[in-house]
């Protein structure tokens, strides 16, 4: 079974702090994704990566950056956290085939105060 | 505009009853349609994926249908159980790149 592990379930940070969210998958998947999920808005794509050291902007990349130095690890970075980045963050991975499902982690609930 | 609309927004049913969730989309060009189940506090889990040529797909008590002509899909849950209480998310994939268009989900509550 594919396992996507997010390093923290809950995180509380202060405005202006630099925040790192880590995600690791154990199935050698090419694709990795970061989403945020907010009530009434559904899931929105922040960034994704097709391969090591490759990254593509999603629908809402502003205020975020990512890093993929190893195939199994995809990090989301909030350079200077703001209160409007309080949200549930979901990492996902998938193999390269088009009709393959996404495998999600259980999310990190980030609160920025 | 590429959109996925789900209805109803929420639903309450008694244990043992059947229910049907709806998904309408305007995504083009279409590649596939996915249904995910998301338990509270967990990440979404894939239930089914259907391509253009498939009009029915089952996963246990879950049966998804797809009408690519009318751009509608439904998820039918048979003999509901308390564990079916969750949010059900419809996702449509475009042919270009990895663009996935997410619906806002239907929240299902199954009561005893």
Q: What's the pLDDT at A98?
A: 72
More confidently predicted of B29 and A22: A22
Task: Tell me what the mean pLDDT of segment B30-38 comes to.
Answer: 95
Closest-CA distance, A73 to chain B, in angstroms, reads 18
Model pLDDT, residue B2: 84
- Which residues make Cβ contacts (< 8 Å) with residue A86, sequence separation at least 6? A110, A111, A112
Asked whether the beta carbons of residue B89 and residue A90 sit closer than 8 angstroms, the reply is no
pLDDT band at B98 (very low <50, low <70, confident <90, very high): low
Evaluate if residue A77 carries a pLDDT over 60. yes
Contact B62, B35 (CB under 8 A): yes
DSSP β-bridge partners for residue B89: B36
**How many residues would you count in chain A?**
113
Residue A63 three-state SS: coil
Question: Does position A69 have pLDDT exceeding 60, yes or no?
Answer: yes
- Nearest chain A Cα distance for residue B23, angstroms: 14
Averaged pLDDT of chain A: 94
Res B97: pLDDT: 57
Mean pLDDT for the stretch of residues A95-107: 88
Q: How far apart are CA B84 and CA B40, in angstroms?
A: 11
pLDDT by residue (tens digit) across A13-58? Answer: 999 999 999 999 999 999 999 999 999 898 999 999 999 999 999 9
Q: Which residue of A has its CA nearest to B46?
A: A101
Are the CB atoms for A9 and A107 separated by under 8 Å? Answer: yes
> Which 8-state DSSP code applies to residue B10?
E
How far A42 CA lies from chain B's nearest CA (Å)? 4
Tokens representing B14 are 């008694």
Residue of higher predicted confidence among B12 and B98 = B12
CB count within 10 Å of CB B103 equals 25
Residues in Cβ contact with A96 at an 8 Å cutoff, skipping those fewer than 6 apart: A29, A30, A31, A50
**Percentage of chain B modeled with pLDDT above 90:** 86
Interchain pair A99, B100: CB under 8 A: no
Chain B interface, Cβ < 8 Å to A: 31-32, 34, 36, 41-46, 49, 51, 89, 93, 98, 100, 102-105
At residue B94, does pLDDT exceed 90?
no
Query: What percent of chain B is modeled with pLDDT above 70?
Result: 97
Judged by DSSP in three states, B88 sits in strand
For residue B80, is pLDDT > 80? Answer: yes
A7 compared with B105, residue with greater pLDDT: B105
Residue owning tokens 């009709």: A99
């Amino acid at each position: 079974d594919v396992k996507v592990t997010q390093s923290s379930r809950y995180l509380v940070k202060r405005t202006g702090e630099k925040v790192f969210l880590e995600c690791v998958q154990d199935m050698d998947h090419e694709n990795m994704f970061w989403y945020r999920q907010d009530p009434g808005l559904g899931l929105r794509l922040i960034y994704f990566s097709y391969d090591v050291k490759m990254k593509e902007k999603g629908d809402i990349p502003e205020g975020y950056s990512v890093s993929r130095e190893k195939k199994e690890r995809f990090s989301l970075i909030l350079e200077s956290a703001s209160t409007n980045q309080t949200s549930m963050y979901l990492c996902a991975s998938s193999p390269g085939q088009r009709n393959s499902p996404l495998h999600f982690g259980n999310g990190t609930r980030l609160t920025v105060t | 505009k590429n959109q996925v609309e789900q209805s109803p927004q929420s639903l309450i049913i008694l244990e043992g009853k059947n229910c049907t969730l709806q998904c309408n989309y305007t995504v083009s060009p279409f590649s596939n349609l996915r249904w995910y189940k998301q338990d509270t506090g967990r990440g979404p889990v894939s239930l089914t994926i259907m391509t253009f040529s498939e009009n029915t797909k089952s996963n246990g008590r879950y049966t998804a249908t797809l009408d690519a002509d009318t751009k509608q899909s439904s998820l039918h849950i048979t003999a509901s159980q308390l564990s079916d209480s969750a949010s059900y998310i419809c996702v449509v994939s475009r042919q270009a790149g990895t663009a996935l268009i997410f619906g806002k989900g239907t929240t299902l509550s199954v009561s005893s």
